Amino acid sequence: MTVEAGYRVVIGLETHVQLNTASKMFCRTSAAYASAPPNTLVCPVCLGMPGVLPVINAAAVDFTIMTGLALHSEIPPHAKFDRKNYAYPDLMKWYQISQYDLPLCVGGWLEIAANGETRRIRITRVHLEEDTAKLTHVVGDDGQPASLIDVNRSGVPLMEIVTEPDITNAEEAMAYGLKLRNILRWLGVSTANMQDGALRIDANVSVWPIGAEVGNTKVEVKNMNSFRALGQALDYEIERQIGLLERGERLEQETRGWDESDARTVSQRTKEYAHDYRYFPEPDLPPLEITRERVQRLTKRMPELPDAVRQRLVEELGVASADADELIEDRDLAAYTLDVIERHAGPAAEVVTWVLQDVRRLLNARELKSADIPISAASMAELLALRAKGDLSSTMAGTVLEEMFATRKPLEEIVAARGRQISDSDALAEIAREVMAANPQAVADYHAGKDRAVQFLMGQVMRRTRGQANPGKVTELLRAELSRDRGA
Amino acid sequence: MIDREQVVHVAALARLALSEAEIDRMQADLQQILQAFEALNALDVSDVSPTAQVIPLATVERLDETEAPLSRDDVMRNAPRVERDQIRVPAVLPEE
Ligand SMILES: [Zn+2]
């Protein structure tokens, strides 16, 4: 990114997160809309029929409070819901139930690392609302432009996390988004997948010349459905605004959408009064009392969060910090690894390397999720113990792991069938002598100074032992036998 | 006082096309409604704590459990027009 010197850039982020509750925010309809055919998850409440009454989903409130706790927010004892009014066909009621001035969580911060610096991004608030129906703009059956409405998504719990304008460039915005996504996944409150729309990050970007009065023209940038798009859109928008200022033009307060194919932001030309939402307290929902007991209960329910796990891995368990960083990016893999570490007598770093390399390679090859490792943590620890004892060579352990993934047979059965590593010197020496007797040419080559012949003989020993010979021992014994042979 | 411009603005927000005569009528009606509420300003509320609700209750919440939805036929029953199992409406510009 090249930003001309002399300008100040200030970015605030608004992140919408679909909560993964079973039912919707204000009705008992299933919230699993992603896999449902159009308009099959709809009830009178989420269809906005007259006379229906919303009832708050306690799990959605819990998830929002837990998110607030993870972001160091204050959880006030009183909260309420409000009506946000706007007339657009994605809202079945023509208003959205949201939270205006008494959100569930207030304040807080998220620490990010970007551009080699650690910074705290202040959180303004976290509130709860409902998602809208999905509109598709099409050419209809009669050849006329039309909009089609699928109501399934209407009423899915949507949490909104708003930051203070503390972000100054695209890298920081991406670092914030990635870290937030990871926390949401560790909390288990959302899939937080951007491509599915479960995580949507909008940005308010303000640019002004240093020394001039603080800029108050906010441009809202939307429609970024990947982290890459978020970074590109912000870089583009900052450059665009600086370009306008350089040419002496005025910035316009507007909403712009990121156009992925053209790699630019485009004005969405919303009417100037589009933000006149006429909020008022939701008359169908009395205020929410958030008891201190509830906050305490949720505090106890909080899992260990990625930053804490990272610190424990590095400081207490001696894991390399790059490996720890990699591991905490994947909650399920990290949880599994910690479980194996607890059962493993050897160093934790050994387990981490094994998981990040061998286990993850197999997961990728088989397109499995980290949550679906087909081997219990106990078996994995046993496999590592066999390797540590020398009963299995590293190569053999890898082969056994692969077979466990492929066949899902128990460890003992596979090891019994394949045999353990042969480290017994007498047995291996005998095999070495047999191999030498059967390959006089290789022995002669060795004596003629071709050291590579040892590799050939080694291969023959491995073949005879079906790969079970301890490779270090075999090399050592072969060299001893060969020099004895020369002496003879 | 509510002026004519405010009536036009609120009507536009609600996507209502009002005739000149209707604007006049709504201005008078809204004026009357606002006046009725202004009567509240005369009350001394210095010892009443602020509230967003007149019902002296805290809300209730429900467990996160699902119930069967409506059939799609029922969902579509009031739709002006149905296409591809969805409610078809005149084309609107993408917004929000
Ligand atoms: Zn419903």
The tokens for A476 are: 């050592």
Among candidate residues A178, A169, A180, A179, the one with its CA nearest the CA of residue A203? A169
Going by their DSSP bridges, the two strands A95-98 and A288-289 should be labelled as: unpaired
Q: In degrees to the nearest 10, what's the CA dihedral of B84, B90, B95, B96?
A: -60
Q: What number of other Cβ atoms are within 10 A of residue A330's Cβ?
A: 21
Chain A residues with CB under 8 Å of B59 CB are 56, 285-289
Residue A269's pLDDT is: 66
- Mean pLDDT of the A236-241 span: 95
Q: What is the pLDDT of residues A298-320, one digit of tens each?
A: 999 999 999 999 999 999 999 99
Q: What is the pLDDT of residues A461-471, one digit of tens each?
A: 888 888 888 88
CB contact (8 A) between residue A288 and residue B58: yes
Q: What is the pLDDT of residues B48-76, one digit of tens each?
A: 887 777 777 778 899 999 999 999 999 99
User: What confidence tier does A106 reach under pLDDT thresholds 50, 70, 90?
Assistant: very high
Residue A3's pLDDT is: 55
Identify whether the C-beta of residue B60 lies closer than 8 Å to the C-beta of residue B68.
no
User: Which has more confidence, A104 or A271?
Assistant: A104
- Mean pLDDT of the A94-103 span: 96
Per-residue pLDDT at A30 exceeds 90: yes
User: Hey, where are the domains in chain A?
Assistant: 7-293, 304-418, 425-487
Chain A residues with CB under 8 Å of B95 CB are 88, 268, 270, 274
User: What confidence tier does A484 reach under pLDDT thresholds 50, 70, 90?
Assistant: confident
Q: What is the pLDDT of residues A434-444, one digit of tens each?
A: 999 999 999 99
Report H helices in A46-133: 58-70
Per-residue pLDDT at B96 exceeds 60: no
Q: Which domain holds residue B34?
A: 1-42
Amino acid identity of residue A450, one-letter, is K
Per-residue pLDDT at A352 exceeds 90: yes
Task: Compute CA distances A77 → A25, A101, A418, whole Å.
Answer: 20, 14, 63
Among candidate residues A230, A232, A209, the one with its CA nearest the CA of residue A10? A209
Identify whether the C-beta of residue A98 lies closer than 8 Å to the C-beta of residue A125.
no
- Domain A425-487 fold: Arc Repressor Mutant, subunit A (1.10.10)
Those of residues 262-301 in A touching chain B at CB distance below 8 A are 268-271, 273-274, 276, 278, 281, 283, 285-289
Please indicate, yes or no, whether the overall pTM of this predicted structure exceeds 0.90: no
Angle at A446 between CA A442 and CA A447, to 5 degrees: 120
Q: What is the mean pLDDT of chain A?
A: 92
Residue A275's pLDDT is: 67
Percent of chain A with pLDDT over 90: 74
Residue B65 lies in a domain: no
Per-residue pLDDT at A273 exceeds 70: no
Closest CA of chain B from A399, distance in Å: 45
User: What confidence tier does A149 reach under pLDDT thresholds 50, 70, 90?
Assistant: very high
Q: What is the mean pLDDT of chain B?
A: 89
**If you count them, how many residues does chain A have?**
488
Residue B33 lies in a domain: yes
The tokens for A196 are: 């599915």
* Range of weakest confidence among A113-122, A213-222, A410-419, B46-55: B46-55
Per-residue pLDDT at B47 exceeds 90: no
d(CA A199, CA A69): 19
Q: What is the pLDDT of residues A362-390, one digit of tens each?
A: 999 999 999 999 999 999 999 999 998 88
The tokens for A470 are: 């301890």
d(CA A48, CA A54): 10
Among candidate residues A251, A255, A249, the one with its CA nearest the CA of residue A272? A255
Cα–ligand 1 centroid distance for A27 (angstroms): 5
CATH for B29? 1.10.20.60
Domain count, chain B: 1
d(CA A22, CA A33): 10
A16 touching chain B per CB within 8 A? no
The neighbouring-strand residues paired with A428 are none
